Structure 1
């Protein structure tokens, strides 16, 4: 093993291995969340609540761009969350027609419960992973995401 950058041909092969792992991981995590749905928070609503928890109030188009999801899908998830009292629309001082969506207290409590449970499960991941391992994983996945960030969704 070397710390030298891989030539493009080898890099492509190794990153393809990562894609082959990320797909099943993503689908299994989605399935786990769906099976363990808590407080009526499915995968899509959970993504909305988590974005708002991390970023504060956002517009639906901002959330769609941030997660590479269609505005229509995000709007459906926001509507579902609003019906459950987890989010609310408030005036947007920067744009009269594009409301800001923010967490309600119930929404904050729901996403904190979900993330605490997820953190408990993630804390059980074995393999003796180190901070350097996780940092390297985040770096690789961030680089891969950045390489396709120009792909339009909608």
Structure 2
């Protein structure tokens, strides 16, 4: 994408933000896993972790997504950009789906309003992190600067 910044000066900060989001997802998933052990996989009980509704299924999903984001952050080489953007889209879909089915039997992840808000904020921050942490050559940076000035 020509409009995505290449070699942004705050790139290390955005990469760290992505890593912290991955770490939060893993931590939330682990706490949710231990809190909901023994409950049904997609149970709709009153299990809460960090003020957010969860169940065993959503805890495992959080652990997997967080681990993938952390692995992308460690690997780098623009793989983190791709992982952060697609993970952000996935988290947005889950949170919007959870909002749509919040008070129904289709709420398989036992999401609450607080969970939906936190997931949406995390996904937006992760998307921002993916958009500003792209690394490229000096020629790509110069081409981006020229395209930016034309717009």
Say yes or no: TM over 0.5. Answer: no
The structure with higher relative contact order (CA 8 Å, sep 6+) is 2
User: Aligning the two structures, in what range does the TM-score lie when normalised by the shorter sequence?
Assistant: 0.3 to 0.5
Q: TM-score by structure 2 length?
A: 0.32
Q: TM-score by structure 1 length?
A: 0.32
